[in-house]
Each structure stands twice: as C-alpha cells, then as structure tokens.
Structure 1
Amino acid sequence: MLKTTHKIFLAFLLVLTVTFGVQAQESEQAEVAAKGVEPGSTEGAETGSADPAVIDAGAALFKNNCAVCHSAGSDVIVGPGLKGITGKRSEGWLIKWIKNSQALIQSGDADAIAIYNEYNKQAMPSFASLSDDDVKAILAYVDAQANVAAAAPTTVAGPEGAAPGANVGTDAIGAIGGYLDIVLVVLIIVLIVLVVTLLLITSLLKNYLNKNRQLDEADNEIVNQRFDFSKIYKSKAVRTLVLLIFVVVLVDLGLDKMMGIGIQQGYAPKQPIAFSHKLHAGEHQIDCSYCHTTVYESKSASIPSANICMNCHSQIKKESPEIQKIYRAIERNKPIEWVRIHNLPDLSYFNHSQHTQVGGVECQTCHGPIQEMDVVYQYSPLTMGWCIDCHRETPLNTEGNAYYDNLVKLHEQSSKGAFTVASNGGTECSKCHY
C-alpha cells in the first residue's frame, strides 16, 4: 500500500511538471514566432532574403499606412490580404498601385480596374509621399511575414492579429497583471498538492495502524472515524491559503481597474448633430483637411465651423432634420457644441502638424478607420506607452535632408536598426512634457 501510494503521489507531481514544461515550451515557441525567428535559429538571423533593417522599416510603414485596411496575411479587412502579393504582381506595378491607385485605374490598366470593381469601387488612398524604397520595404515586410507564418508550427495569436492600435503601450502593467496571475495559479496548485498530500499521509497512517497495532475500542473509533470535511475549512493553514488567494484576486482585479483610469478607448459620445464620417469621408471621399482645416498647419486639428458645413448644405439636403440644426445654430449665432472625443492630459504636449505635415502620419494611424465610422469613437488608447512604442518603431525619412547626415552616420555606427523617431530623441521626457 505504501509503494502504491508513493507511485500515485509521484505520478501527480510528474503530471504537474510535464504540464508546466509544455506550457513553458509553447510560450517560448510563441515568443520566437512573434519575433519572426525559427525555433533553434540564432537571434538576428535574416527572414527571407531582405535586409533586417529594411524589413523593420517596412513593418513600421505597414503599421502606419496599410494596417487599417490590409493584413499581411490572407485575412480580408477592408482590402485584400497581402500574403503572396509579390508573386502575383510585378514590383513596378505594385509601386504604381500603392502610390496612386486611381491614376493606374484611369490609365486603363486591366488588373487595376478588376481590383477596383471587385472591392465595390472603394478608392484606395494615394501614398504619393512614399518613395519607391519605402514601398519596397513594405513589400519586403509582407514577404517576411509570409515566411514566418510558413515556418511556424502553429499560428500564434499576437499583436499582428489584433486591430491596429491594440497595443495600448502598457506592457509594464500587463507584466504586473501576468505575475499576479502566475502567483494565483501557483497558490491554487500548492493548495491542491497540500490537500492531496494530507489525504495520502492520513491514508498511510490509517492503514499502518489497522494492520500493525492492536487498537482498543476508543483508539479504533478515532482511527476509523468518518472523514470530517469541516476540519478542512477550520484548519488555520487552509484558511490562510484561501485568504491569501482571495487577497491576490482582489489586488489583481483592482490593479487592472486602476490602470484603466483615464483610458477612454472606445469612447463614443452622442453628438448634437448625427454627422457620419462614413458618408462624408468614406462614400464621398471628402479629405479630412477640408473640414479640419488646420490639421497640417497647427497644433490642433480644429473643429469645423458651421460655415464649412454650409458650403455644401446650403444646396444639399436642406430639409433634413439634422441639417436644420445647423441652420438654427447659424440663426442664433451660436457654435455647434460638439463633444470632444480625443482628450490628452494637460501635462502632455501634442502637435498635429508635426505628425501630419512633417512626419507624414496618416489620420487613420491614430484615429483608426475613420472613413468607416458612422459614429466616431476613440480608436487608440492614447497612452504614453502607446505613443512611445510608435516613436520607437517609426523610421524617419532623412533622405535629402542634410540636417540628419551626421546623426544617421552616428546611428549606423552604434545600431543596425532603422533610424527612428526615438533615435532622434523622440523618447526624451521633454519632448512631450515641458
């Protein structure tokens, strides 16, 4: 009986060990696949034939310009998935299509017209600001992602599969929550092992006493008494463990709630006029800067005045109840009281023109697929970590700008990665907090 019990106990421990070993191996494989490196390969090995620096630059360009409408895999978002696109189209054709798809369609290109018709004649934004090298870097990144997916044994869910902007930039917060979850699991396992161990010891002692000792009636009653479950929850050790688990759960939940204070991702307040960006920016292709007139020139993107609305609606849908609200605002000489959606704390400095005009950042990078929103909501978390992640990943266009020549040389001497906003001091505290 003793040997059998030992075997059961050792088997239980072996199951736990194997389980944690498999989980650790799966985590390692997931981490390796997320980095784009085959298991067992050396860190920094090239993915495909492209330069890793080019792939890194392409990854940032893809996330900033393409990820709103396209996936690097086979999934259709707004437009088609780009997996294998370089095998279907020539590089020259792809450069023309990405930089100005409408010009290619108007030239009579059969492939361009077919794609345009297949996706309900939804116009793809032009990216004339991208150089040929930028487009090639994007294509290299797409090819690299296809190679990674082919090499990985399983599909790993991660940031690439999440919606753009899903990276909330709270990695440290997530790590703390993860550690608490691990502590909670460990405590539960310890409690289970403790209970099983006590039951095994009790069974061993009971069998030993019954077989090897002459017990009087009183002792026999004690030894062979029925198990009293009340003794478990009355035990100080068990109560302490349960209390500790309860405290850890409360701390974990409380920490998650506290770290979410001030993050208004998904916030979609009701506006005084039911304005649809999907209709205006999507179907009618009205450029963002037509209404938000200072988005390329000023710190603020500006709220459109009623006069801008009336440029069209003095003739179009004049009798609409929503348009009549604009007329009443003009008659009363009062501004329309739009509800602000995207709010940054007063301690943070953000300049729209620095990002849109100088950096060439598209509106969708931060605001999401605004052209698809009937009701605008806060798409990105707008946290400090989210901004810093973007600065670390976004390469600077230094071509033709002598200001960056020495900085780029110094960067290349000390780093093999792309020259990003962070490389130019974009993560210094004083950049955003004066």
Structure 2
Amino acid sequence: MISCILRAKTKFLIAFLFALTASFGVSTSGYAQGASLPVDDAGIVSAGESLYKNNCVVCHSVGSDVVVGPGLKGVNERRAQPWLVSWIKNSQALIQSGDKDAIAVYNQFNKQAMPSFAFSDDEVKAILTYIKSAEAAAAEAPAAGAVDAAPGKNVGTDAIGAIGGYLDIILVVLIIVLIVLVVTLLLISSLLKNYLNKNKELDEYDAEVVNQRFDFSKVYKSKAVRTLVVLIFVIVLLDLALGKVMGIGIQEGYAPTQPIAFSHKLHAGEHQIDCNYCHTTVYESKSASIPSANICMNCHSQIKTESPEIQKIYKALERNKPIEWVRIHNLPDLAYFNHSQHTQVGGIECQTCHGPIQEMEVVYQYSPLTMGWCIDCHRETPLNTEGNAYYDNLVKLHEESSKGAFTVTSNGGAECSKCHY
C-alpha cells in the first residue's frame, strides 16, 4: 500500500513537470494569445510563488536552465493561457478531445499520463503570474551588492578571514625585513671593524673597544631576561589553554563526509528546491527532519538512475535501511531549540543560522551556535507585534520604560528558562 502511494506521488510530480513542459516548442491553436497577468499584484504573485515552490521547483527553473523539465522562461509568450490552464487541470481530457498540441506533447514525453489537478483557474494563473514576475525581476535585477547582515548572521566571516590572512602576510614580511636589517648591520659592523684594524693606528683604549666581544652568557644568566622568558611562556600557555577551553563544543566549520555526496549548491542553489521540500517538518516541528530515501526517489526514480551516488539510495531502499547521514548541527542536550518557533512564528530564514546553504557543495556548520551568539540574536531581532493582541500590553509597558525596539529579549528571550528547563 505504501509503495503504491509513493509511486502515485512520484507520478503526480512528474506529471506536473510535463504539464508546464507543454508550453515549449509547440505552436498554439484555437486560443487567443497575450492574456494579461497581474504581475503588479503582490498577493497573487506571492500565492503563485508558494504554489510554484511546493509543486514545480523540483523539476523546473523560472529561467532557461533545464532541471528535470525545461526552464519556464517565456512560457506565457510561447503558449496561450487558456491552453495552459486546460492542460494543467486535465491533460487527458485535452488529449482525448483530439487537440494536436496536447497529443504532440504527450507523445514527445513518452506518453506519461498526467492526473487531473485540483487547482482552480486562478491558482494556475497565479503560478503563471509568478513566473512572469520572476522573469521581469531577473531582467531588471541590478548587480549584486553588499547585503545587510541579519541579526545573528555571519555575513562578514569570509571578509574577516581574508583580513586575517593579509595581516599574517604583513607580519611575515616585517619579520623578514627585520632579519635582513640585523644581518646587514652585523655585516657593516664587521667591515668597519676590519677597516679600523687594518688602516688606522688605534690607541690601546680604542683598540679594546673595537675588538671587544659580546658575552652572550651574561644575557641568558640575567634574572630580568629569565623572568621575561618565563612570563612569555606562561602567557602563551594560558592563551592556548583558554582558547581550547572556550572552544569546547564549538564546531564552526565542521564538514563531515556524508554517505552520499549530496550537493546543496546543485539542489537548493541551481535548481532552487525549497528547503521545506526535503526537510518537511521545518515549519511544523522542533526538528527540521532528515529527508527519507523516498523523498529522493520522487525525482531520482527517473533522473540519473545510473549514477553511483543514486545507486546508494536504491541499495538503502532494497535493504529497507535508512541512509546514515552524519549530523552537522548538534546542540547540547541542555539547550532547547524549536525550528517551527523560529521559522513559522519568527519568520527567520534558514540562511540566518545555516549561512549561504544554497552555495555549499558540502554543507558545513556556518555559525558558532553558542549561547552568546543566540542571545545576541535575541537582543537584536525585533518582534512583529502588529495585529496580535497578545503583545498590546507588553508593547505599551516596553514603550513606557524603554526607547528601543521591542525585541525577543524584551519578551523574555534572554531568560534562562527559555532555553534551559
């Protein structure tokens, strides 16, 4: 029964792929072109974006890139809107009516039957409106510039690392210059000494000054020097020990090898698959959930089936064993964290804590995830209290006692019992 459901779900997603694929490379017949789409209506665009990301993004890009199916750039110009609506809602009825375009698309893609969708006309048009809006935004988008850091986001980590690298180079150069200067001075001193001894008649006192030798034993036998050396040694040891102690439990940059080479850069970046598609409970539960092999098979039952990495998924399903992914982000048991509280209620983006996940070929821990880092975010992040009567009295009391924004800390976000109980 479960396998039947999974196969049905797979066919459902593939069918949606072919529905929008129908718009490419086939001329229209019997329908008017150019139906206007309200791309300036933010509500319709937002609804279409949600529908697109929940149903289409797995197989399509809004650009020209081919994912599973073709990119959707220009879909509204290539195909009449009524035809698209009819095809997406009930492709089989359109085929059985004898529509030449529908039959051509059906044959072109190996006669994959597409089930009827429960979308209304407005929902289909909302998807098409979002695609049109995304095309316009891509055409008008300025060159990428500096991005303001969201609270708790390590936007400047790479820049800081680069500055640290330059400082190291400067320090090495200064040390080399110092060594060269010392050697140069010693050579000059030696030359002057030889010159004075050979070419000048020196009295006894001057000869003694010129030819005197430096006694290094007096240096290391000096109490001041010994005290200084011991002090430096103790400071270095304390610094190393303190750094080790403060770093306990911090795994920033941790990037373990996974059992399957999964690329977030490819899936979340290039193909723009929404995080919620794989991490299904990120908006509903304490945990974001680890994707099951069945989620992978929604696409990979048809795509890159011969890939060695995909074969590992098949073997896991054959053995009826889960894929043993290595956990990367791991808070201590004494700390409570709820994903849905942050993503659903707080509206926090995944990248705020996980960094530019859509650019990571291999996922690593981007943020330190320390208590201080979390509290700083609570201190800086304002709460959206508009339209929520629960906050009315709290906001009023806050405004009477403080001029700052009503943040998570203002609502008790820095109390120990919020995360430790």
Which bracket does the TM-score occupy, shorter chain normalised?
0.5 to 0.7
Q: Report matched runs for 1:5-404 at 5 Å.
A: 106-107=132-133, 112-116=137-141, 162-163=156-157, 227-404=214-391
CA distance in 1, matches of 2:138, 2:321: 47
> How far off its partner does 1:409 sit?
1.0
Q: 1:312 to 1:107 in 2, by over 3 A?
A: closer
Q: Deviations over 1:15-57 (max 9, x none)?
A: xxxxxxxxxxxxxxxxxxxxxxxxxxxxxxxxxxxxxxxxxxx
CA distance in 2, matches of 1:365, 1:166: 18
CA distance in 2, matches of 1:161, 1:336: 32
Report the equivalent of 1:428: 415
Q: Deviations over 1:389-427 (max 9, x none)?
A: 100000000000011111111111111111000010001
Secondary structure of 2:157's match? Answer: coil
CA distance in 2, matches of 1:432, 1:165: 32
Amino acid at match of 2:139: A
CA distance in 2, matches of 1:289, 1:160: 23
> How far off its partner does 1:162 sit?
1.6
Secondary structure of 1:392's match? Answer: helix
Q: 1:166 to 1:361 in 2, by over 3 A?
A: farther
CA distance in 2, matches of 1:160, 1:309: 30
CA distance in 2, matches of 1:255, 1:348: 23
CA distance in 2, matches of 1:352, 1:109: 32
Q: 1:161 to 1:321 in 2, by over 3 A?
A: closer
8 Å contact kept, 1:306–1:326: yes
CA distance in 1, matches of 2:225, 2:328: 50
Q: 1:234 to 1:314 in 2, by over 3 A?
A: same
Amino acid at match of 2:386: E
> How far off its partner does 1:225 sit?
7.6
Secondary structure of 1:262's match? Answer: coil
CA distance in 1, matches of 2:393, 2:156: 38
> How far off its partner does 1:304 sit?
0.6
Q: Deviations over 1:200-228 (max 9, x none)?
A: xxxxxxxxxxxxxxxxxxxxx9xx98653
Q: Which runs of 5+ in 1 are unaligned?
A: 1-99, 120-138, 143-158, 168-220
Q: Deviations over 1:174-219 (max 9, x none)?
A: xxxxxxxxxxxxxxxxxxxxxxxxxxxxxxxxxxxxxxxxxxxxxx
Q: 1:118 to 1:424 in 2, by over 3 A?
A: closer
8 Å contact kept, 1:268–1:378: yes
Higher relative contact order (CA 8 A, sep 6+): 1
TM-score by length of 1: 0.51
The percent identity for this pair of structures is 82
> How far off its partner does 1:286 sit?
1.0
CA distance in 2, matches of 1:271, 1:288: 18
State how many pairs are aligned.
244
CA distance in 1, matches of 2:154, 2:370: 19
If you compute each CA radius of gyration, which structure gives the higher value, 1 or 2? 2
Q: Deviations over 1:58-109 (max 9, x none)?
A: xxxxxxxxxxxxxxxxxxxxxxxxxxxxxxxxxxxxxxxxxx9x96882599
> How far off its partner does 1:237 sit?
2.4
CA distance in 2, matches of 1:374, 1:260: 26
8 Å contact kept, 2:154–2:367: no
Q: Deviations over 1:288-327 (max 9, x none)?
A: 1111111001000000111111111111111111111111
CA distance in 1, matches of 2:383, 2:273: 28
Q: 1:270 to 1:113 in 2, by over 3 A?
A: closer
